[in-house]
Structure 1
């Protein structure tokens, strides 16, 4: 897989985010570094980390050691809600750990306790974006009403809301709510809610000569939903990256999500 093979989604400001990302939760220390390096070698160009993951230094070192240009790797990190009021310090620490002068996407990891706190935090993210320290800013684990609170307060929508997503969690209404607001729904933990032994997945996988996990990832791509699988196993990292040599039919997309509208 090379860079030109990968579809992306355009965020506001013409920031392009590859639809396939590499999740790094629980990938720490040498194992985390090796996994990220293996992912970049396999062709991933979108890395997802967070302050809470404790691995930004390993992610940054892997990007540097990969030999890739910084501008060719899309890097997301996240700030914990508990750090409300310390946004600048947290981002400065993330940039130092990642060894970069900017991140491509900075997210509020989960909604703070109160709408006022959420809005204040969101204003700080917008200010950081305007200064060029983050090319784009968004949120994670927000409900639609919580997204609307930010929009109503600032007239600016998060470019991304990263939530748990997968075929069993498919919700056409929620996806439509994001798109009506110009917000990209990004999915994490694609396999957590998925039965990879499901006969429907097995049938579709066999038809394409791929694995059920690859079908699940391709299902996200068919919907235009960025997805960030994670693994520290080199073979699985490579297999998860190999989803651009086949496509699903509309009927297969519908079957994967249990027959719901595609």
Structure 2
């Protein structure tokens, strides 16, 4: 088993620095169990993934104490208003079979300013009630984060965005760092687009696969990567990244692959109104 280190979020709770992503995995229990057996203690789900219940089942079957595992979910429909968001949080808890979640995010900025702020107030209320230990957002640009601050509300503990050498979202990253917001990196493995010569060169040099190089890049930038895999061997491989480091020069080579927004491999809806 490979233990992963942690980072402390603004609310004082420890978050493991690598999490298992379960997007588009409707049968995610085997991957979750494999991950928990080899040292993962962080699983990233969402209501729209339709697998909250399976994550909960895997946690219970693992035999690992609930308090030792960091569980995230996200609300994707916020247009219904404050009470609708509170109801969605309760439904997520019911799906998981838990009485609290470690982190709950607004999945994207879709819905407009008023809906975003009402949803954010609902998350803060659920946090105050003890249902959520920490709250955050996903796919938020600087303007969306600034609208929270302008409303006089507590800033998110986390912003989860698409992040990898091809799409580095540096303006968002800089803002989050300057305001103590932890950056989680989704799609850190660029959906298997491993053909870049620089990535191949570093993989051969270190005797590591391209996925491990990408995860290491993310960690050394201080991000929390959320690699996804349904293959137990790859799940184990993706956390086996603590025995080597990339040099400063190697990090700079990967940094030089940034293509801005055109480098995104997912929806990356950070510029919505």
Q: So what's the TM-score if we normalise by structure 2?
A: 0.89
**Which shows bigger deviation, 182-191 or 141-150?**
182-191
Partner in structure 2 of residue 223 of structure 1: 221
Q: Are 1:76 and 2:76 an aligned pair?
A: no
Shift of 1:193: 6.5
Preserved contact between residue 166 and residue 193 of structure 1 (Cα < 8 Å): no
The within-5 A match list for 1:58-207 is 58-82=54-78, 84-85=80-81, 86-192=84-190, 195-207=193-205
Partner in structure 1 of residue 238 of structure 2: 240
Shift of 1:83: 5.5
Preserved contact between residue 166 and residue 194 of structure 1 (Cα < 8 Å): no
Q: Which runs of 5+ in 2 are unaligned?
A: 259-273
Shift of 1:158: 0.6
Shift of 1:9: 1.9
State the distance in 2 between where 1:64 and 1:240 align.
Answer: 23
Match of 2:45 among 44, 49, 52: 49
Partner in structure 1 of residue 264 of structure 2: none
Q: Which runs of 4+ in 1 moved over 4 A?
A: none
Partner in structure 1 of residue 256 of structure 2: 258
Q: What secondary structure is seen at the aligned counterpart in 1 of 2:180?
A: coil
Q: So what's the TM-score if we normalise by structure 1?
A: 0.93
**Count of matched residue positions in the alignment of Structure 1 and Structure 2:** 256
Once the two structures are superposed, residues 54-73 of structure 1 have per-residue CA deviations (whole angstroms, 9 ceiling, x without a partner) of 00110000011011111111
State the distance in 1 between where 2:181 and 2:2 align.
Answer: 27
Partner in structure 1 of residue 265 of structure 2: none
Shift of 1:7: 2.4
**Which shows bigger deviation, 172-181 or 221-230?**
172-181
Shift of 1:192: 2.6
Preserved contact between residue 9 and residue 224 of structure 1 (Cα < 8 Å): no
State the distance in 1 between where 2:116 and 2:199 align.
Answer: 39
Preserved contact between residue 11 and residue 157 of structure 2 (Cα < 8 Å): no
Shift of 1:12: 1.4
Once the two structures are superposed, residues 67-116 of structure 1 have per-residue CA deviations (whole angstroms, 9 ceiling, x without a partner) of 11111110000011345421121111111111111000000011142211
Partner in structure 1 of residue 36 of structure 2: 40
Preserved contact between residue 196 and residue 212 of structure 1 (Cα < 8 Å): yes
Shift of 1:194: 6.7
Preserved contact between residue 22 and residue 46 of structure 1 (Cα < 8 Å): yes
In structure 2, relative to structure 1, the CA distance for the partners of 1:84 and 1:142 (3 Å cut) is farther
Preserved contact between residue 81 and residue 111 of structure 1 (Cα < 8 Å): no
Partner in structure 1 of residue 7 of structure 2: 9
State the distance in 1 between where 2:78 and 2:123 align.
Answer: 15
Shift of 1:161: 0.8
State the distance in 1 between where 2:16 and 2:108 align.
Answer: 22
Q: What secondary structure is seen at the aligned counterpart in 1 of 2:171?
A: helix
Shift of 1:14: 0.9
Q: What secondary structure is seen at the aligned counterpart in 2 of 1:169?
A: coil
